[in-house]
Structure 1
């Protein structure tokens, strides 16, 4: 039923053709796995007698699977891995794994850029345009139908284009991602709802086996929490929750908190939670179904089950009578009439063949309200025009309307505008144009040059060319006011003027040390002992002469 071809630089080689003619090419173990919203995979084994055995090259060789009944393309992509082997009988074979076309978006990376207040349409357009400008024609994927409404705030960090779309744009509660092909042109859709074909699978008719799984993570009274722990009491009759009466009647009262960290008003918080209420109050179930796809007996593939099908399940014994979406389709192409299906009644989480996105990475919907964590910028908080940034390269900064108003770098240097500080303590620093009221300082340096003053709690030191020359204030010994003059080395005291014990009037005994080289200008009664002796000798000599 399926023709499988490989392509090398546009040259087609058929490696499998559905025919009873043994001369037609065949491959073994043809397994197709397709997941809704993901790239899908194809695996098979190829032997040496196949014309394509030596023509398969990882990544470079393209592959298609065509339903020959109506030439519908079932799978298209490229060879992802090749494992060559020989068994003990001398049989050589290659085991091939192929990935779907959506994974072409793994061949490019997005720029490390901050995006704010963007929509899914904005970002998918930006990402796909950048991707298409960098790749070959066959890898190009264009913007399709985008009707999901969302507010996006994130910093891309050189992820692959597909990883960036999944990580920053896709929200499983809001819509579905799908690759669509029209006349050979690939389109990426992100849509609120899908228009699935409906297929009936019923016990005793075409249902072979069924396993039902439940997820207990749900609630019947949902407590929405917005930015800064915002709740809805003020707009919801004093209640902080929204109730699904149908769910309460079936399961009883079960509270569940749901975060909407990007929402800052209680009215919007209530509205958003109401619009998504059923997704939180519906028990998430999945069904693993073995079915007979009777459409394989028809002359067309139109009604066949695939990953874009919804299935109406009817099993009266297990109490199942619902329509659920196929989220995974797994089939042996040589037995296409009995696929294994995984069905779900809730949104799907993209994983698996999308290179297993790292679960520990921060999502845009994990930290709303302008709070983000990223490898390239550290921690960033944004509210209106104000941004706070913290990282190991730049330190801490606060910007208001792009003006940096506060900054502490990684060396501890502080730059700030209009500081108001209560009980501030500073060990050292440079201060310009300071106006203070009732400032108390134990130690302050007045200049960063070689000529400066240092203000202590009880005295001031004066420095010239970085050498101490004079101090004024209480001497620190007798706690009496004094002026001290220092010698060339800035250590030894060369002269002292002190008020003595008459501190209050400063009228006591003032002394000048010998050899102080002190010059006194104006009227004064200060004299050194040496000067008095010289004056007495001069007087006596004058008297003797006369």
Structure 2
């Protein structure tokens, strides 16, 4: 019934053909396992007499299982493992193949924080990124999506399939489905699937049946959101939603369900209503051995598979319901007798994805407003104020809808409407800073260099600034504790302040090299002192007399007049 072919770079080699001719290639124990919403697997054993024995390359060799009655593709994927061995009977290889959905494991998503995304938006982002990086045969396009959800997550270099199952897929809301049309692969995410329905009836085609029912459920669901948010304010004072039909059948049973990412009570109620049925009905599963009567027909249309729903009728076990097939397991050499796993609820992705689900971070723990979650990192919330810490955004502080501060991983800081009191800042360098409408009170700032800053409407009171530089250009001032240095073209030209020796106030002037002091004016004791070799420009009204005396023309004239009068008095006396 099933032909199995492999493809290497487009070249087909048939490795199994279902006929009685011993010359046609055969494999042993071909076993197919397909799970709803997952990649599925094919296993078999191959011997050296098969033409494909040495043609099976891990991850590169493609494989297709086809129903020869109507050329319907039943499974398509690639070789995943190739195990060679020998014993007293000879050589063999045990092969495991994985389905095409696992092509999404070949790429990884970027580290990005996503907020307020719908499933269709996030799937489009993930699939577009995947398709931009892989070969054409690995491309998977966005298909039909009708699941409604509000997604917040921080991706962290997971594989694309891990990201989809971790951040988008919700078993309470819908089903993932890989669909092929004219060789093009599409990924659907649907509230409900359109299944073909087959009857499995005791005494007709039901061989065996095991029913399990061990899942916790409730009839009054208490939704709890972020920071212990509940729904009393939008639900007539009640903190629960009731399924009247379930309460009538099972009685009143309270169950708490957490929605850690929801911080609005109306949205919390809406999310719980959308998923209410999944929490108020006990999850049951059936393991069924059945005879697939469609194997006797000349078409595959009514064959049982993982996308089948089975109408189960077993009067002894009081079962008369239609259940979805979530797993189809069959030995292709006895294809008429598959083993089915049926469920009355959505499925949790397991199997090849078990390692993903097992390593997921659980969004649990709410300790006085502090939360930890895989979709947002660390969150601290009180009233309108919210602090986020995660590997993508760094640190951010939000007041309502306004982000007032954030520190990104690139080291850039953005602040809005900041009031800073009693601050101490030491040994800092601040480049390209914009400070707007800031109030800084009683600050201590030591060894600070601020470059290319824009400072508007700043009120600075009682501030102590030590060694501050005005710019990173060639012309700037350096503010020390007791004096200011003035630089031109990067060379020190003047100091104003206390000299640090006698603590005299003064002005010191430096030559062209910026090293040697060429003149100074200091105020020591009760009189100023002028030092250095000074020159006076003609017409300035100033005159030099002696080495260190500088005076105005009026002062010099008055001194000469006084001296002349004294001299004339002496002559007159004599």
Match of 1:447 among 447, 466, 491: 466
How much does 1:169 deviate?
Answer: 1.1
Structure 1 position 22 matched with structure 2 position 22: yes
> 2:12 matched to which residue of 1?
12
Alignment of 1:281-296 (within 5 A): 281-296=280-295
Match of 2:110 in 1: 111
> Structure 1's 387 and 324: CA in aligned 2 closer, same or farther, altered over 3 A?
same
Query: Does structure 1 residue 35 correspond to structure 2 residue 54?
Result: no
Distance, in Å, in 1 between the alignment partners of 2:217 and 2:34 is: 28
Distance 1:296 1:277, change over 3 A: same
The match for 2:343 is 344
| Structure 1, gaps ≥5 residues long | 438-442, 454-462, 471-517, 523-546
Q: Distance in 2 between matches of 1:140 and 1:262?
A: 32
Moved more, 284-293 or 240-249: 240-249
Structure 2, unmatched stretches of 5+, are 429-434, 443-461, 469-478, 483-496, 505-523, 529-574
Q: Structure 1 16/384 Cα, relative in aligned 2: closer, same or farther at 3 Å? A: farther
State the distance in 1 between where 2:373 and 2:76 align: 37
Between stretches 149-158 and 377-386, larger displacement belongs to: 377-386
Match in the other structure for 1:266: 265
SS in 2 for 1:165: helix
Query: How many angstroms does 1:7 deviate by?
Result: 0.8
CA 1:382–1:119: 2 relative to 1, 3 Å: farther
2:365–2:371 Cα contact (<8 Å) kept = no
Report the equivalent of 1:275: 274
Report the CA distance shift for 1:408/1:13 in structure 2 as closer, same or farther (over 3 A): closer
User: How far did residue 319 of structure 1 move?
Assistant: 1.5
Give 1:490's aligned residue: none
Q: Which residue of 2 aligns with 1:136?
A: 135
SS in 2 for 1:287: strand
Contact 2:31 2:331 in 1 (8 A): yes
Structure showing greater relative contact order (alpha-carbon pairs closer than 8 Å, 6 or more residues apart): 1
Partner residue of 1:253? 252
Inter-partner Cα distance in structure 1 for 2:41 and 2:279? 31
What secondary structure sits across from 2:103 in the alignment? Answer: helix
In structure 2, how many angstroms separate the alpha carbons of the residues matched to 1:467 and 1:255? Answer: 82
TM-aligned CA deviation for residue 264 of structure 1: 3.9
How many angstroms apart in 2 are the aligned matches of 1:394 and 1:147? Answer: 30
| Displacement after TM superposition at 1:149 (Å) | 1.1
Task: Give, in whole Å, the separation in 1 of the partners of 2:172 and 2:30.
Answer: 34
Cα distance in 2 for partners of 1:11, 1:280 equals 50
* Structure 1 partner of 2:431: none
Distance 2:256 2:68 in 1: 52
Q: As a proportion of its length, which structure holds more strand?
A: 2
Question: 1:168·1:364 contact (CA, 8 Å) conserved in 2?
Answer: no
In the TM superposition, what whole-angstrom CA distance separates every residue of 1:152-203 from its partner, at most 9, and x where no partner exists? 1222222111111111111111111000111111111111100101111111
Superimposed CA distance per residue, residues 44-76 of structure 1 (whole angstroms, 9 cap, x where no aligned partner): 000011111111111111111111111111101
Structure 2 CA distance for partners of 1:39 and 1:237, relative to 1, 3 Å:
same
Q: Is the 8 A contact 1:262 1:370 kept in 2?
A: no
Q: Pairwise mapping of residues 376-415 of structure 1 onto structure 2 (< 5 A)?
A: 379=378, 388-390=387-389, 396-398=395-397, 405=405
What secondary structure sits across from 1:53 in the alignment?
A: coil
TM-aligned CA distance change 1:406 to 1:280, over 3 Å: closer
Instruction: Give me the TM-score of the superposition, normalised by structure 1.
Output: 0.74
For residue 427 of structure 1, report the CA deviation from its aligned partner. 11
The match for 1:181 is 180
Q: Aligned residue for 1:359?
A: 358
> In the superposition, relative to structure 1, how do residues 334 and 11 fare at CA in structure 2: closer, same or farther (>3 Å)?
same
Partner of 1:221: 220
1:77 equivalenced with 2:92 (yes/no): no
What SS does structure 2 have at the residue aligned with 1:54?
coil
Alpha-carbon distance in 1 for matches of 2:295, 2:357: 38
In 2, the alpha carbon distance for the partners of 1:58 and 1:435 equals 65
Query: 1:168-207 residue pairs with structure 2 within 5 A?
Result: 168-207=167-206
Instruction: Sort the Cα spacing of 1:366 and 1:112 in 2 relative to 1 into closer, same or farther, 3 A.
Output: farther
Q: Which residue number in structure 2 is paired with residue 166 of structure 1?
A: 165
CA distance in structure 1 between the partners assigned to 2:500 and 2:327 by the alignment: 80
How many residues align? The count is: 457
Contact 1:331 1:339 in 2 (8 A): yes
CA shift, 1:281, in A, is 0.5
Task: State the SS of the aligned residue for 2:162.
Answer: helix
Instruction: Give secondary structure in 2 for the equivalent of 1:204.
Output: coil
Two-structure CA RMSD over aligned residues (Å): 3.9
Q: 1:390 Cα deviation (Å)?
A: 2.8
Decide whether the 8 Å contact of 2:112 with 2:392 is kept in 1: no
Asked if structure 1 preserves the Cα contact closer than 8 Å seen for 2:30 and 2:42, the reply is: yes
